[in-house]
Copies of this chain bind each other. A is one copy, B any other.
């Protein structure tokens, strides 16, 4: 049993104990995931690229970033679990595709023309 499986289990219990499975449709969970990503994004919107690298130096901002990244991950795990998707597997599949698609020599230093990771 992986770390992600264990977390998925705990989220399943969390939802069941509150009778919240009815709200956890894939549609709703995708909304919640994106809403949390938007909150995370907002933490960085007025920062320069350099300031964004030291965002954790500010205690309050750091706490918010950690909480929002935690939320994003929780919803990703929950959504994958509800759909029966192996989160780790689809990530490795996508990464393998990117490794083929973005040849290291051809794309060196040119992320702008070709988005990295996806």
Chain A positions within 8 Å of B, measured between CB atoms, are 2-4, 7, 10-11, 14-15, 17-20, 22-28, 30-53, 55-56, 65-67, 69-80, 82-85, 87-88, 90-95, 97-99, 102, 104, 107-109, 111-112, 115-118
Which of A19, A83, A111 has the most C-beta atoms of chain B within 10 angstroms of its own C-beta? Answer: A111
Contact in complex: A79, B69 (CB < 8 Å): yes
User: Is the CB–CB distance between B11 and A25 below 8 Å?
Assistant: no
Q: Flag if B35 contacts A42 (CB, 8 Å).
A: yes
CA distance A24 to B30 in the complex (A): 18
Is B3 in contact with A95, judged by CB distance below 8 angstroms? no
Q: How far in angstroms is the closest Cβ of chain B from A71?
A: 4
Residue contact A93 to B115, C-beta cutoff 8 Å: no
